Structure 1
Amino acid sequence: MDTDPATGLVAALDIGGTKIAGALVDGEGRIRVRSQRPTPAREDGETVMAAVEAVLADLAASPLWESAGAVGIGSAGPVDASRGTVSPVNVPGWRDYPLVERVRRAAAGRPVTLVGDGVAMTAAEHWLGAARGHANALCLVVSTGVGGGLVLNGRVHPGPTGNAGHIGHVPVDLDGEACACGGRGCVERLASGPHLARRALENGWRPGPDGDVSAVAVAAAARAGDPAAVAAFERAARALAAGIAATAALVEIDIAVVGGGVAGAGEVLFAPLRRSLGTYAALSFTRNLTVVPAATGTDAGLLGAAAAVMRADAAPDS
């Protein structure tokens, strides 16, 4: 669906393991109405869907709802855009779940476009953020999991199922731990927030009086010089650098944009990431790769889901 960039309005859903966010987004990328619910990730599939329907009901209560001609979804993956199904690793109640059909029904028959959350973030960054103007880019979400998406030849490239660029499940440790995806030694197993924090705890880091054991707390400890916290971020950075370098060798990207909660650590992550990239990206055509923070922030998923509907270069390959 092509939407008038000046006046078009679409509904957007950003579905992850922690929250389900929704918004009405206009053609200039402005969020006009928003809603959010926690994801009941450990409940059954219908309970999760009820939370999605509650977010859509909030949007439908707005007078602007009637102007929204379609729905875009960026979902934790893997997704299968060709079948309209999702099987998020961190939402076990959804396996081959017919999300597109269910959202279409809840949205009164509006057309629905589905992409993975990494592709959604990529579409947002290419439309409005740090990848804007770049013809070849990798965008990463480093949070509860690690996702990603690609821009190739000036277009977002979701691939046939909407999962292309999913760097989180690129193996970088041949003898590494088993990953929830079924693989072993994946980037996500080394660099996601929960695994980064677990590594810090295993190596001697201890939380403060509040008991916070999140990656945010580890980042604060790393900034204060705690050696186990610093080492945990350096290890995560090496894993990310190896995945980014492998991607650059395959498809010749010139920029890697890193967002998500773990990226909020700032130079605690980016300094060792850039150092490690210098080691892994050694070929002449990968050596000048730039790594920058994402610019669209916590709204990247919503803006990217909207872009999947509005922008032809974000539409799934047919």
Structure 2
Amino acid sequence: MAITGQPGIRQRSYDRIVVGRARSRRSSHLQPAVLAIDFGSTKVAAAVVSREGELLSSEWLDNPPGRSADELFEAVLGVCRRALGRVQADLIAVGVGCSGPMRYPDGIVSPLNTPVWRDFPLRAQLSEAFGRPAWVDNDAKALALGERWRGAGHGSNNMLGMVVSTGVGGGVILDGKLLHGNAGNAGHIGHIIVWPEGPVCGCGARGCVEGVASGSGLARRVAAAHAAGTSTSIPPGATAREIATAAREGDPLALELFRTAGEAVGRGIASAAALLDLEVVVIGGSIALRAWDLLGPPLESELRRSARLAFTREVR
């Protein structure tokens, strides 16, 4: 059994870009393209992507706390305009992967780790701003679609796309179709309970995968350890990157945090595999990609221990 921890990436560089965004300036010789937005609690990325999935340009910015809802949206527009300003293309649509929960297909978002956006009409605002159709979905569902189309899940009809970052999310494709659920929130693997006596998650429950393994969860666990007087080299208010650095330097608390984080993700995947009969799991997100050396081994070990049925052991 193996888990794919490195999503497939296709990238192409362009030397110069000219803007061709306005509807009245559409020209048949310009390449049709989509504005793709990845909205996370700590970072916002925007890219212009061809219909064939080639990356034409990209921009990103940090997403620090303290902005109002409108200020945050203006920052999103700014990074989008910079990406558009670097490519010669005919913008045909806007697509967004946003942390959840949300109301689909309305595109009204309430990202758990972005409290200034509660019932924020992201789809309507983007469509108005760019004069193009806009679609908004969960970021992990977008990951699942993208990886099935062009990446590590290519050709799989039954797969889980998982994001381990500031939060933990999931997107499920079954029988070749993306699952939406009642309000577009199907696949929220981050809120499977894997440690009933574990830390409290941002959602209010105890022992969620997200509460144990996400960047925000790791930070809360460090804060709790400091409050309890635990000896550690991890500084108060540490980021996930700093916790990972401490773990690589041998800090016992940091090593324990990543061990339990990996185990939590492994248990969550084992549960999803048993429930859904999956072929492939693709894991992305900043923690998975930057700290796979710490997260991956306990994840794989716990997955082998927990996935005991023959069909769950076949997940790759």
Change in Cα spacing, 1:25 to 1:95, as seen in structure 2 (3 Å) is same
Q: Distance in 1 between matches of 2:222 and 2:315?
A: 29
User: What does residue range 202-213 of structure 1 map to in structure 2 within 5 Å?
Assistant: 202=225, 203-207=230-234, 213=238
Query: How many angstroms apart in 1 are the aligned matches of 2:237 and 2:113?
Result: 21
Q: Which moved more, 1:145-154 or 1:222-231?
A: 222-231
Alignment match, 2:14: none
Write the mapping of 1:40-55 to structure 2, written as runs, cut at 5 A: 40-55=64-79
Could you tell me which of 5, 9, 32 is aligned with 2:56?
32
Structure 2 residue identity aligned to 1:104: S
- Considering only aligned residues, what root-mean-square deviation do their CA atoms show, in Å? 2.2
Q: Which has the larger radius of gyration?
A: 2
Q: Which residue of 2 aligns with 1:96?
A: 119
Equivalent pairs counted in the alignment come to: 280
Taking the aligned partners of 1:195 and 1:181, their CA distance within structure 2 comes to 11
> What amino acid does structure 1 have at the position aligned with 2:129?
A
CA distance in structure 1 between the partners assigned to 2:284 and 2:107 by the alignment: 26
Structure-2 change in CA distance of 1:259 and 1:124 (3 Å): same
Show the counterpart of 1:281: 307
Partner of 1:72: 95
Q: Name the structure 2 match of 1:229.
A: 254
Query: Larger relative contact order (C-alpha < 8 A, sep ≥ 6)?
Result: 1
TM-score, structure 2 normalization: 0.81
1:288 Cα deviation after fit: 2.5
Q: Kindly indicate whether residue 225 of structure 2 is the aligned counterpart of residue 199 of structure 1.
A: no
Measured in 1, the distance between the counterparts of 2:205 and 2:221 equals 19
Q: CA separation in 2, counterparts of 1:172 and 1:25?
A: 37
Amino acid at match of 1:10: V
Cα offsets for 1:213-252 (capped at 9, x unmatched):
3322333333344332221111001111111111111111
Where 2:58 maps in the other structure, the secondary structure is strand
Matched letter for residue 53 of structure 2: G
Taking the aligned partners of 2:60 and 2:156, their CA distance within structure 1 comes to 32
Change (3 A) 1:216 1:37: closer
| Distance of 1:235 and 1:63 partners within structure 2 | 44
Residue 175 (structure 1) shift: 3.3
Superposition pairs for residues 299-310 of structure 1, below 5 Å?
none
1:244-281 CA distance string (max 9 Å, x none): 11111111112222211211212321111111111211
Residue type at the aligned position of 2:138: G
CA 1:231 to 1:59, structure 2 compared with 1: closer, same or farther past 3 Å? closer
C-alpha contact 2:56 2:87 (8 A) present in aligned 1: no
CA contact (8 A) 2:107 2:137 kept: no
TM-score (norm 1): 0.80
What amino acid is aligned across from residue 181 of structure 2 in structure 1?
G
Question: What secondary structure sits across from 1:285 in the alignment?
Answer: helix
- Provide the C-alpha distance between the structure 2 equivalents of 1:268 and 1:259, rounded to a whole number of angstroms: 14
The one of 133, 137, 161 equivalent to 1:139 is: 161
Q: Distance in 2 between matches of 1:258 and 1:35?
A: 23
Q: Which residue of 1 aligns with 2:36?
A: 12
Q: Which moved more, 1:224-233 or 1:235-244?
A: 224-233
User: Which one of the candidate residues 180, 187, 199 is aligned to 2:209?
Assistant: 187
Distance 1:276 1:33, change over 3 A: same
Q: Is 1:157 the counterpart of 2:172 in the alignment?
A: no
Q: In the alignment, is the contact (CA less than 8 A) between 2:233 and 2:251 conserved in 1? A: no
User: How far 1:181 sits from its partner (Å)?
Assistant: 1.9
Tell me what 1:22 maps to.
46
SS at structure 1 position matched to 2:75: helix
Kindly provide the amino acid, as one letter, of the partner of residue 163 in structure 1. N
Q: Is the 8 A contact 2:194 2:264 kept in 1?
A: yes
Q: Gaps spanning 5+ residues in structure 2: where?
A: 1-30
| Cα separation, 1, equivalents of 2:312 and 2:294 | 23
Q: Is the 8 A contact 2:163 2:285 kept in 1?
A: yes
